[in-house]
Amino acid sequence: MKAKIFTILIIASLFFVGCAGTKNLPITDSCANELKHHTVACADNEAPDFKAHSAGKSMAGGAFGLIGAAIAHSSMVSEGNKIISENGVEDPAGYIAEQLMSGLVAQYQLNQVHANSAPVQSDDIEHISSLYKNADYVLDVKTVNWLTVPGRVVNRYRVVYGSQLRLIDTNERKVVAEGFCSETSKSSDPDFSYDELMGNNAEGLKNQLKEKAEYCVDHFKKNVFMVQ
């Protein structure tokens, strides 16, 4: 029982790191009108660590307290990043940004510019505005968390995904629209075996991430940008 409780706690801590304090800020009518005929660039964010959870790792963590938790976390990160690298799993944030950019350009008559800059190293508005000073606005989409978690039965898993969106006015150095998308597995969703997710170059994992990315695109369009 203690190990099971520990599993729940460590999953919660892994998912909500980086999520706290993110508020929803839909674009206002006045700001939407101001967007027209301005330029917009897409921020280049590096993907965070992917955490591959297994029942064995959580049991080990529960058995050895904080030290075990640290070891289990490190192991999850190491295994997860290996899965991403070896199977060419793409960060869903890129797809989300691409789809949102297309909608913004069409609805608000924006002109997209392609900035050749280094990846964003900080969430700081000044930093991002300086990197993309050739654009009036920056579409900043990043993955906050992506990981596998235990399913309803032993040795079955689900995929959890969360992303953050900001539209930044580089001239005023301020966020004009913001949102957070958390696409966790629903109770009706199926569990997957490790092989179903990671077999055939992680095809199952890629499919799950694509579904969750589509959900986030729809969520951001409807609740942040009011894009049809």
CA atoms within 13 A on the CB side of 18: 19
The encoded tokens of residue 145 equal 């968390």
The encoded tokens of residue 20 equal 């706290």
Q: Are 163 and 142 in contact (CB under 8 A)?
A: yes
Question: In sequence order, what are the beta bridge partners of 25?
Answer: 178
Is residue 111 classed as helix, strand or coil in its secondary structure?
strand
Reported pTM: 0.84
The amino acid at 94: G
The amino acid at 163: S
Give the separation between CA 3 and CA 26, rounded to whole angstroms. 41
Q: Which domains are seen in the chain, by residue range?
A: 21-50+90-225 (3.40.50)
pLDDT (tens, 9 = 90+) of the chain, 228 residues, equals 444 433 443 444 444 444 444 578 999 999 999 999 999 999 999 999 999 986 555 444 444 444 444 545 688 899 999 999 999 999 999 999 999 999 999 999 999 998 766 789 899 999 999 999 999 999 999 999 999 988 888 889 999 999 999 999 999 999 999 999 987 656 666 789 999 999 999 999 999 999 999 999 999 999 999 886
Give the separation between CA 200 and CA 202, rounded to whole angstroms. 6
